[in-house]
Structure 1
Amino acid sequence: MRLLSYNIQKGYGGRDRRYNFERTIAAIEHENPDIIVLQEVDHNERRTRFDNQPEILSDYFRYEATDYQFNHRVSKGGYGNLLISRFPFHSVTQVCLKLKHRKKRGAQVVVVDSPEGKLLLVGWHLGLKEKQRHAQVNHLLDHVDLQDNLDLPTLIVGDFNDWRNTLAKGPFAHHGFEQLTRPPSRFRTFPAYLPIGSLDKAFCRGPINVSDVRVVRNQLTKEASDHLPLLVDFHLERPEESGNGKP
């Protein structure tokens, strides 16, 4: 199975600052992902021609399941996170990660009914302050939906805004997660045209075999957003594989 995580910057190019949603879609489609996890997806905003981007993406890919989390209001519209999956969702929970006066943030927690079994997936876009991000991660990892599904293979992906990579040895290590996007020097995603920051990350826990994790760096992705997409190829382990101690 293939998962793509991508901060699409509302369809604006990272260098030319032009709105070109067809370019965004092409960058996603080129990788043929089974599960798409997007951040900064606009809805009813003048800057993006009042496009309903969640609907446009859902109609274009025509996958089995979608979930849009509207996080930040701007005028009569705003933006948020979007999940699109070839496979149905067994359950969907939207978790608010807003802290006091900070910008509203959120996480989508879904159980995906994949052909290989159930997968617990979290997609999110964390805050800009380090202390805020640690609080958001701790809140999410202590959330009842994660605690009730500890036996499920789990992937957490998105725009972490974690410039100094402090989350890996903090709350994620405490909760038994492995960072897939390490060392950070191999997973620089921002800014797309000359990446210096490893902001888009992936963590996993449980019986998951990850065959490849990479940043999608080509001419299209260098132009389509200010972030580069992150790609994760993986399979869920069968119970007998886990019992045999396979990685």
Structure 2
Amino acid sequence: MLVATYNVHRGRGPFGRFRPSRIAAVLAEIRPDLIALQEAQHYLRPGRDMLDFQAIRRELGLIPLRVPDCPGHSGWRSNVVLVRDGAGVGFGPLGLRLGGLEPRGGIVAELDLGEGPFRLLACHLSLGAARRAVQAERLVRAVQSGRGPDLPTLLLGDLNEWRQDRSALAVLRPVFGPSASPPGFPSFRPMLSLDHILTRPSGMLRSLAVHDTPLARRASDHLPLTAQFDLAGRAVPEAPARGP
């Protein structure tokens, strides 16, 4: 299945213009089975959707994974997960309180998109390194939720970390293995790998790449990160690549 993570920068391009319709157009380019969005809700208008989810459902067959304890919202603390319409939900979704001043958070759920059950962890971590390490420890504890650590786990989001031996990635590496994510920030000249897709056990990702198109470079300050997620773990991870 095709999965992705995308910090949509509150619907603003890298130079600040509010154009949420561009985000929807990028989703149409990718056509994922599951995508985690960060900064995808209005901060000052929390009850109002930034994206036209009815049109996205109609055109792409994707629906928001709504958190029950956050009624009236499409996500949790600006995290929105879109999944293929008809996906099975075995646990959750639940909002994860990760702390921080921004604020930050995540979503955990057990899903089945027709290829078997797996745990989803979608998140957006803080800018401060010390806080990111604490937040990563909370994500590791979330692996114990539901049916426990034996369930295959997909973690994806903006971790705000590009160094394998620092803060969040250092905490996550013993559980998920090293990240092979290519650089996708800033979108107009990608240099840093802030966005990551990880699995437990490792070895379930292939075709890991940034979605680098002219439209994606204008839609947000991050490029989307995509991967084929193979629950059977048969695929050998490929070298990081860039491309649409």
TM-score normalised per structure 1: 0.80
Counterpart of 1:94? 95
Q: How do 1:168-207 and structure 2 match up within 5 A?
A: 170-175=170-175, 177-182=176-181, 187-206=182-201
Change (3 A) 1:66 1:149: farther
* Corresponding residue SS for 1:30: helix
Distance in 2 of aligned mates of 1:163 and 1:211: 20
Amino acid at match of 1:32: R
Q: Which residue of 1 aligns with 2:139?
A: 140
CA deviation vs aligned residue, 1:85-127 (integer Å, no higher than 9, x gap)? 112322212110014xx23211101111121100111110000
Cα distance in 2, alignment partners of residues 28 and 128 from structure 1? 26
Please list, as runs of the form range in 1=range in 2, the aligned pairs for 1:1-247 lying within 5 A after superposition.
Answer: 1-15=1-15, 17-43=16-42, 45=44, 51-53=48-50, 56-57=52-53, 59-62=55-58, 63=61, 65-68=63-66, 80-86=78-84, 87-91=87-91, 92-99=93-100, 102-143=101-142, 145-146=144-145, 148-165=147-164, 166-167=166-167, 170-175=170-175, 177-182=176-181, 187-206=182-201, 209-237=204-232
How many pairs were matched up? 224
Q: Distance in 2 between matches of 1:207 and 1:116?
A: 17
Q: Which amino acid aligns with 1:214?
A: A
Cα distance change, pair 64–12 in 1 and its aligned pair in 2 (3 A): closer
Gaps (5+ residues) in structure 1? 70-77
- Consecutive unaligned residues of structure 2, counting only runs of 5 or more, are 68-75, 238-244
Identity of aligned residues (%): 29
Relative distance call for 1:103 and 1:44 in structure 2 (3 A) is closer
Relative to structure 1, is the Cα distance of residues 44 and 127 closer, same or farther in structure 2, using a 3 angstrom cutoff? closer
Rg (Cα) greater in structure: 1
Contact preservation (8 Å) 1:58, 1:84:
no
* Residue matched to 2:242: none
Following superposition, the deviation at residue 147 of structure 1 comes to 7.3
Structure that is richer in strand per residue: 1
The whole-number CA distance in structure 2 between the counterparts of 1:147 and 1:172 is 19
Which residue is 1:74 aligned to? none
